[in-house]
Amino acid sequence: MKKFILFIIIINLSFATDNIVYKKTKTEQNTLYETLISIKKGLISNVNFFIPDYLKINPKESFFHFKISYDSLNSKVSTSLSLHLKLPGLKFSHIIVKNKTTKQKNPEKQNTQAKCLYTSLTIRPYLRIRDSKPKFFIKNSFLVQKTYYLTYAFNQQFYYYPFDNYWEEYSIVIIKKNSYTFNTTVSRTKNDSFFTYTSGIYKSFIYNKRLYVLGYSFTGYTDRAPFCYSHKLNLVFRHIIRSKRIYIEFEPYLLYSKTYDYHLKEAVNISLNYKF
Tell me what pLDDT residue 202 has: 96
Report the pLDDT averaged over residues 5-34: 71
What's the mean per-residue pLDDT of the chain? 86
Would the pLDDT of 196 be above 50?
A: yes
Tell me what pLDDT residue 64 has: 82
Would the pLDDT of 8 be above 60?
A: no
CATH 2.40.160 fits 2-100+111-275, yes or no: yes
Inter-residue contact 259 to 236 (CB < 8 Å): no
Provide the 10 A C-beta neighbour count for residue 251: 19
- 7-11, 60-64, 112-116, 129-133: which range is least confident on average? 7-11
Model confidence at 7, pLDDT cuts 50, 70, 90, reads very low
pLDDT tens digits, residue range 203-251? 999 888 788 999 999 999 999 999 999 999 999 999 888 777 888 999 9
Would the pLDDT of 102 be above 90?
A: no
Tell me what pLDDT residue 276 has: 79
pLDDT tens digits, residue range 64-82? 888 899 999 989 999 988 8
Would the pLDDT of 54 be above 50?
A: yes
Element (H, E) at 114: strand 111-130
Tell me what pLDDT residue 72 has: 93
Would the pLDDT of 114 be above 90?
A: no
Element (H, E) at 6: helix 2-14
The domain limits of the chain are: 2-100+111-275
Tell me what pLDDT residue 240 has: 87
- Comparison of pLDDT for 46 and 74, the residue scoring more: 74
If phi over 0 gives left and psi between -120 and 50 gives alpha, with beta otherwise, what is residue 75? left
- Comparison of pLDDT for 188 and 149, the residue scoring more: 188
Model confidence at 40, pLDDT cuts 50, 70, 90, reads confident
- 3-17, 34-48, 113-127: which range is least confident on average? 3-17
* Per-residue three-class SS string for 168-236: EEEEEEEEEECCEEEEEEEEEECCCCCCEEEEEEEEEEEECCEEEEEEEEEEEECCCCCCCCEEEEEEE
Report the pLDDT averaged over residues 144-159: 93
Peptide bond into 134 cis (omega under 30): no
